[in-house]
Every structure is written in structure tokens, then in C-alpha cells.
Amino acid sequence: MASILRKAKITPHLSSTRGHNSLGWLDTYHSFSFADWYDPKYTHFGSLRVLNEDRVKPNTGFPTHPHRDFEIFSYILSGELTHRDSMLAKGKEGGQSDKFFRMHRGDVQFTTGGTGIAHSEFNEHNKDTVHFLQIWAIPWKRGLTPRYHTRNFPDQDKREGFVKILSPLKAGEDATAQEEAEAEPVIPNTIPIHADFVMGAGIIAPDGKFEWTVGGGATQTTQRKVYVHVPMLKGGRAKIRLDGREDAELSEGDGAFIEGVQIGDKLVVESIGEAEAEVVVLDTA
């Protein structure tokens, strides 16, 4: 197919150019500068600040640690990841809640760090490694009230087209305390984020095509940036092509910066590999 986004600039970010660190219990790849890895070419993209692809071995994880003034979300690809709030002791859970949540494939947990929040993320499974994306966005203002949200987004829906996962808080930057508590997103059945930011995900069968409408139908800023990422799930057998361009073909672990696009533009994503491709789209001002 021919390019639709003729004025758009698409720059692949190959997996080999990501930061990588293996700590024994953690194997992690950084699409943007993080921790001890810094590359001035990869500091942020619009409000997108962090995209880490992590694998955590059984009975290990991130001990209780603080966050402030970032919107942070975990997208579970396989295995299980247990979130514990610092306010709830282990063994006192009494069921899934904001203070305790054992996540599995399809779950997304979202944290507004705001004025300060502390939690742990552990793989408490006895034998299975957990594989997930951790993504951070820069909020539209600092000092927000800390908050958690968790939702499941089934594979069946993602195989039919891009599923919207995050969309801006409907009340906007000047939301009242009540509107913050109500946490209504612009797009129903998504998780609200404090940023001009939309996240989508799809699972595209070989030879299939999905279309992403820039802006996700949820934002007002006309000029947009879109980042696309292909998680490492199929042993290298998944591959996609963006906008019909041969120089915009991505393998597992690769991403791409898409610039020069506007609300309503159509980004066509083709699956050209031997296995279905899971594709994450991060659309930002």
C-alpha cells in the first residue's frame, strides 16, 4: 500500500539502540533515558518520558519505593505482577483493591504519583517470569492527588482493532476535587490520565491491518506525536510496517517516532511477520 501520511516523518528506534540492563532478577530494556542509561536523543517524546520493557524473575521484584509527579502505568504481557501499597501489610489484603492487586495478562495498572506515593511491584509467582511494559508520562501539572486505577483489556477485543486504554481526564487540568475523585475519562471504559495523551493496543494477525486515528478521538491539540512499540513476545516472528513504508518496518523490541501528524490523520499498521504482532500506540501532544 502507498503512504497516506505523506507529510509525516517516521523514525524507527531499533531495539538494538535501546538501553539494556541485566541484574539477574531483572532484565530490562529502556526506549528512553532511564536510571544509569542516558542518551540525549532519547529523553522524552511529547509527554512520553519512559518506556521500559521488563522481565522479572519469580519471587523477586521492586521493593517499596516512592514516586512523585509522574503518571505511571504497567501493561502486563505475560506472567503476574503483584502491586502492594505501603499502607497495607502482606497477608492483610482481603481481596483485590487499590492497595493490593495481583495483575495478569491484559491488566493495566495506573498510578498518579502526584504529591507522593509509595508502592512495591513483585513477582510473587513461584516459577513464572513476568513480562511487562512500564510507561511514564509527564502530567499537565504537578502536585496532583495520588491515585491508582486498574482495568483489564481482553485479547479478544485487541484482535478486532486498536483498543483505547488511556485517555485524558474529562474535567481537564482544572478539575475540582470531586471531578478528580469521579475520575471520568474522555473515552468511556478507559483509564483517565492527567495529560494530553491516549494509549491504544492491538494484536494484529499476519497479513492483517489496523488503523489508528491520530488523537484517538479524545484530544484537542491539533499537532500530535505518536510513538509505536512492538513488544518482544513471539521470538522474533512478529513484524509490522507503518504507513506502507518499507523504511518503517519494525521487528519485536523496535519502536518508531511519528511526527508531523494531526488529529484525524490515519496511521495504517500492517502485520507482515509470521506471527501475530502486539502493537502499543502512545499518542501525545
Looking at residue 60, what is its pLDDT? Answer: 97
Burial status of residue 2 (CB atoms within 10 A of its CB: 0-12, 13-18, 19 or more): exposed
121 appears as a binding residue in the annotation: yes
Mean pLDDT of the residues in the chain: 96
Q: Which cell numbers hold the place of 98?
A: 487499590
When pLDDT is cut at 50, 70 and 90, the band that residue 219 belongs to is confident
Looking at residue 156, what is its pLDDT? Answer: 98
* pLDDT tens digits, one per residue of 102-144: 999 999 999 999 999 999 999 999 999 999 999 999 999 999 9
Domain 9-284 has CATH 3.30.70.1050: no
Looking at residue 269, what is its pLDDT? Answer: 98
83 appears as a binding residue in the annotation: no
Q: Which of helix, strand or coil describes residue 132?
A: strand
Mean pLDDT of 225-240: 98
Q: Which cell numbers hold the place of 245?
A: 513504508
How crowded is the C-beta side of 26, counted as CA atoms within 13 Å?
Answer: 18
AA identity, residue 24: G
Grid cell 512499540 is found at 229
104 appears as a binding residue in the annotation: no
Burial status of residue 177 (CB atoms within 10 A of its CB: 0-12, 13-18, 19 or more): exposed
119 appears as a binding residue in the annotation: yes
Q: Which cell numbers hold the place of 84?
A: 502492594
**Cα radius of gyration (the chain):** 18
- Which conformational region is residue 260 in: left (phi greater than 0), alpha (psi within -120 to 50 degrees), or beta? left
Pick 97 or 262 by higher pLDDT. 262
Lowest mean pLDDT among 78-92, 128-142, 163-177, 269-283: 78-92
Mean pLDDT of 60-72: 95
Question: Phi and psi of 247, rounded to 5°?
Answer: -90, 10
Q: In this model, does residue 43 exceed pLDDT 80?
A: yes
Q: In this model, does residue 90 exceed pLDDT 90?
A: no
Lowest mean pLDDT among 29-33, 97-101, 209-213, 226-230: 97-101
Hey, how many other C-beta atoms are within 10 angstroms of the C-beta on 146? 16
Nearest Cα residue to 228 out of 194, 193, 204, 195: 204
Hey, how many other C-beta atoms are within 10 angstroms of the C-beta on 48? 23
Q: In this model, does residue 89 exceed pLDDT 80?
A: no
- With DSSP H G I counted as helix, E B as strand and the rest as coil, what are the percentages for the chain, rounded to 5? 5, 50, 45
What percent of the chain shows pLDDT beyond 70?
A: 100
Looking at residue 44, what is its pLDDT? Answer: 97
Q: Which cell numbers hold the place of 274?
A: 509470521
Lowest mean pLDDT among 79-88, 146-155, 159-168, 244-253: 79-88
Rounded Cα gap, residues 117 and 169, in angstroms:
20
Q: In this model, does residue 157 exceed pLDDT 80?
A: yes
* pLDDT tens digits, one per residue of 177-208: 999 999 999 999 999 999 999 999 999 999 99
Residue boundaries of the structural domains of the chain: 9-284
Nearest Cα residue to 203 out of 100, 140, 278, 257: 278
Rounded Cα gap, residues 103 and 119, in angstroms:
14
